């Protein structure tokens, strides 16, 4: 029976390969023809052809009803879980509050010295002292209490899922797509049902952190266990060991290094999510301090910066400590050095408990407040002096770039914005240029460039929010079919239809517009920077610490300079997204260009190519797979940052998730969050398949 089914599958696959190209050509021709018709005569096309299928909120209402019934049924269990988690956080919070800051500083400094050396010890000491000296010690410990409970839960849950997926193929087929959803659903969307289930306070933040931080450890456990050589398992079986003994004494030790990498990644993810959870309130931690100060804009920029640095330092110290602990060889110490270090640490802890040094912290916190006020004053003076320029940048970017991308030149070009009117003659000229360029490129058999010119011209004319649903659906499905196959095309079609059924099509187009604008800016700025870094060691040395800093900063921090300079606006949201998402395209471009075989470069030089010809015709085409992977990461980073940018002016799906969070509307928050996850999954799968296809062709 299985052989017969395999034969049927092989025959179907071979037949489909014969039909694949004709389907792509016919489908692409129909979509391009329809776009040409709408571009020329949009008013002649029926309304329902251009707009998405209408839907009601029955799906969201069904989710709310189901969640309500589940809460009524599982109330005792939910209260028990909430009580355990809450008491764990409160207990750890109590212990941290009653540990003097100097004793804590000594312990963390000793741990850094023990694991790595003087460099990490100094970093830990400076970071802990900054938290205390800023006067935000208790709020820092509140954040650390949530992290301290969330991390063990995430590691335990993720480890069990990883072992189950590695040991059972059936479980792996269920767990892997679940991990994709856990990592792509916006972080705020986790909080919506959790607030309904567990109420406000630290509990939803801790559980959401567990969900968000579990995938890294799960994937690394799966990878580590699957990479254990089969010969070792065979030797263990021959030796008569049980499955449990083989797992504990053979597989886990061999997978240890990979698992510890996952532990490091999960710790950072947990810290990031716990800070994001501050938006729901109920816990006076650093994330809450940053959020409140950021919403005040330039008036409290100093306070936001001071609190934001605590988040950065906390993330860096935890990252460095966990990374040092995961190394196969820690810093070697003689027994005498270990005893001396332990004695000094013990003495420091005793001093910390006997002399808490509250007077010192009171003085330094006053200095911090004065410094923050001075920063606020300096920023106010800067905005007063250069406010006209900043407003000009913001307004021009909005009028001449963002607005045309959102609603199209057809509606954006008006006397009150551009100073001219987009007359019928002007529209006709624009259409003739786009269609003429499309036709000329088709005649020269440059099909890909012709399609790009038509699609880009159409989007600029109609705007992202004016894209017809059939064009988006057909284009995405044809792209998936071209780079991967029928399975991905069907998955993309199902996800796009689900977004329509959820009633979030217009919100999805807005989110797509803002992310597309951010990705476009990242490409325009990031690719040249990556090329410069690949060609110049000096530029690379300058860019590396900047990239490291941008990638290690928690998402909240990107809102601070954007809001301080441009206030709460759509442009501020765009600036924050670009700052966060630009790093991958820079790094992958540099990596791709540096990975080009030396023999290929030498051959091009021997053929007489100059540096520009070599870059355009040889190096960039060869580096395309790597650059596409960077583009993939930039798109995913943009979508991840979009949910945070809603706090400073972004709308669309992120706004719907935030509304669901504020109002306790689980259906609205989950459907909007799933819609964002669907967009991220489709973009990830298509771009990765495209990069793999180009890599295979090369």
CB 146 within 8 A of CB 209: yes
CB 635 within 8 A of CB 668: no
Tell me what pLDDT residue 349 has: 65
CB 612 within 8 A of CB 535: no
Q: If we measure between CA atoms, which residue out of 64, 91, 87 comes closest to residue 197?
A: 64
Tell me what pLDDT residue 27 has: 54
Considering the four listed CATH numbers 1.10.3720.10, 3.40.190.10, 3.40.50.150, 3.40.50.2300, the one that applies to the domain covering 70-356 is: 1.10.3720.10
pLDDT, tens only, 101-121: 888 888 888 888 888 777 888
Predicted confidence (pLDDT) at residue 88 exceeds the cutoff of 70 = yes
CB 182 within 8 A of CB 214: yes
Six-digit token pair at 577? 């997204």
| Confidence band for 16, pLDDT divided at 50, 70 and 90 | very low
Tell me what pLDDT residue 457 has: 83
631: phi then psi, degrees, rounded to nearest 5: -60, -40
Highest mean pLDDT among 79-83, 128-132, 595-599, 601-605: 128-132
| Cα 560 versus chain centre, distance | 18
Tell me what pLDDT residue 44 has: 45
- pLDDT, average across residues 396-402: 87
| Cα 81 versus chain centre, distance | 29
Q: Indicate if 487-698 has the same CATH topology as 70-356.
A: yes
Q: How far apart are CA 173 and CA 176, in angstroms?
A: 6
pLDDT, tens only, 213-226: 888 888 888 888 88
Predicted confidence (pLDDT) at residue 324 exceeds the cutoff of 60 = yes
Q: How far apart are CA 351 and CA 401, in angstroms?
A: 60
Using the Cα atoms of residue 535, residue 538, residue 544 and residue 550 in order, give the sign of their dihedral: negative
Six-digit token pair at 351? 């001093």
How many residues are there in the chain?
Answer: 698
Q: If we measure between CA atoms, which residue out of 385, 366, 389 comes closest to residue 377?
A: 385
Which helix (H) or strand (E) segment holds residue 58: the answer is helix 58-73
Beta strands in 279-330 (DSSP E): none
Six-digit token pair at 159? 């480890």
CB 642 within 8 A of CB 690: no
Q: How far apart are CA 5 and CA 10, in angstroms?
A: 9
Percent pLDDT > 90 in the chain is 2
What is the model's pTM? 0.77
Report angle CA 77, 674, 686 to the nearest 5 degrees: 135
Q: How far apart are CA 436 and CA 416, in angstroms?
A: 30
Q: How far apart are CA 529 and CA 578, in angstroms?
A: 14
Q: How far apart are CA 52 and CA 501, in angstroms?
A: 10
pLDDT, tens only, 524-563: 999 999 999 888 888 888 888 788 777 767 677 777 788 7
Residue-range domain boundaries for the chain: 70-356, 487-698
Six-digit token pair at 15? 């037949």
Q: How far apart are CA 570 and CA 283, in angstroms?
A: 29
Tell me what pLDDT residue 319 has: 78
DSSP 8-state class, residue 54? P
Q: If we measure between CA atoms, which residue out of 280, 290, 281, 296 comes closest to residue 311?
A: 290
CB 461 within 8 A of CB 409: yes
Six-digit token pair at 316? 């860096």
Q: How far apart are CA 330 and CA 342, in angstroms?
A: 16
DSSP 8-state class, residue 52? P
CB 678 within 8 A of CB 476: no
Six-digit token pair at 561? 């300079």
Q: Does domain 487-698 have CATH number 3.10.20.880?
A: no
Predicted confidence (pLDDT) at residue 132 exceeds the cutoff of 80 = yes
CB 104 within 8 A of CB 112: no
Mean pLDDT of the residues in the chain: 78
Q: How far apart are CA 180 and CA 255, in angstroms?
A: 23
């Amino acid at each position: 029976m299985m052989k017969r089914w395999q034969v049927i599958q092989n025959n179907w696959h071979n037949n489909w390969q014969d039909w694949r190209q004709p389907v792509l050509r016919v489908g692409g021709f129909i979509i391009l023809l329809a776009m040409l018709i709408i571009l020329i005569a949009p008013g002649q096309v029926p309304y329902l052809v251009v707009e998405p299928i209408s839907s009601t909120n029955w799906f969201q209402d069904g989710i709310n009803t189901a969640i309500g019934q589940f809460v009524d049924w599982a109330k005792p269990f939910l209260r028990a879980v909430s009580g355990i988690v809450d008491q764990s956080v409160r207990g750890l919070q109590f212990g941290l509050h009653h540990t003097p800051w100097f004793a804590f500083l000594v312990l963390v400094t000793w741990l850094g010295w023990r694991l790595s050396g003087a460099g990490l010890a100094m970093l830990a000491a400076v970071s802990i002292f900054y938290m205390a000296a800023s006067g935000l010690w208790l709020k820092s410990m509140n954040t650390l209490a949530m992290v301290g409970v969330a991390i063990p839960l995430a590691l335990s849950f993720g480890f069990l899922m990883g072992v189950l997926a590695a040991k059972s193929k059936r479980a792996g087929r269920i767990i892997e797509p679940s991990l994709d959803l856990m990592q792509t659903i916006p972080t705020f969307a986790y909080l919506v049902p959790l607030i309904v289930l567990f109420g406000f306070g630290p509990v939803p933040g801790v559980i959401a952190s567990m969900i968000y931080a579990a995938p890294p450890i799960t994937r690394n456990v799966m990878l580590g266990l699957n990479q254990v050589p089969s010969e070792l398992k065979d030797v263990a079986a021959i030796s008569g060991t049980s499955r449990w003994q083989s797992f504990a004494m053979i597989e886990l030790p061999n997978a240890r290094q990979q698992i510890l990498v996952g532990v490091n990644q999960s710790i950072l993810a947990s810290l990031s999510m716990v800070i994001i959870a501050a938006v729901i309130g109920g816990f006076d931690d650093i994330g809450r301090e940053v959020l409140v100060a950021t919403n005040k804009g330039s008036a409290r920029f100093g306070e936001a910066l001071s609190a934001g640095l605590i988040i950065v330092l906390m993330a860096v110290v935890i990252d460095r400590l966990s990374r040092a602990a995961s190394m196969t060889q820690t810093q070697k110490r003689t027994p005498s050095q270990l005893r001396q270090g332990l004695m000094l640490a013990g003495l420091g802890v005793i001093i910390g408990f006997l002399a808490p040094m509250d007077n010192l912290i009171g003085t330094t916190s006053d200095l911090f407040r004065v410094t923050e006020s001075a920063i606020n004053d300096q920023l106010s003076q800067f905005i007063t002096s250069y406010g006209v320029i900043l407003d000009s940048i913001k307004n021009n970017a909005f009028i001449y770039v963002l607005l045309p991308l959102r609603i199209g030149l057809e509606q954006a070009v008006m006397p009150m914005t551009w100073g001219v009117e987009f007359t019928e003659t002007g529209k006709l000229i624009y259409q003739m240029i786009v269609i003429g360029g499309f036709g000329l490129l088709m005649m020269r058999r440059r099909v890909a460039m012709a399609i790009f010119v038509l699609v880009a011209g159409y989007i600029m004319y109609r705007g992202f929010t004016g894209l017809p649903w059939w064009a988006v659906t057909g284009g995405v499905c044809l792209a998936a079919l071209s780079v991967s196959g029928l399975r991905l095309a069907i998955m993309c079609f199902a996800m796009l239809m689900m977004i329509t059924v959820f009633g979030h099509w217009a919100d999805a187009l807005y989110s797509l517009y803002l992310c597309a604008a951010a990705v476009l800016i990242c490409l325009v700025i990031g690719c040249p920077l990556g090329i410069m870094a690949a060609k110049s060691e000096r530029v690379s040395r300058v860019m590396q610490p900047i990239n490291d800093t941008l990638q290690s900063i928690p998402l909240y921090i990107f809102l601070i300079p954007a809001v301080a300079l441009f206030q709460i606006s759509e442009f501020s949201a765009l600036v924050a997204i670009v700052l966060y998402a630009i790093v991958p395209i820079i790094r992958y471009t540099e990596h791709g260009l540096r990975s080009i075989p030396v023999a290929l470069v030498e051959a091009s030089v021997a053929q007489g190519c100059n540096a520009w010809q070599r870059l355009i015709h040889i190096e960039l085409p060869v580096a395309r797979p790597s650059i596409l992977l960077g583009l993939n990461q930039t798109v995913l980073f943009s979508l991840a940052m979009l949910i945070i940018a809603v706090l400073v002016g972004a709308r669309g799906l992120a706004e719907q998730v935030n509304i669901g969070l504020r109002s306790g509307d689980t259906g609205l928050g989950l459907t909007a969050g799933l819609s964002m996850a669907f967009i991220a999954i489709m973009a990830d799968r298509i771009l990765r398949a495209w990069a793999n296809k180009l890599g295979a062709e090369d």
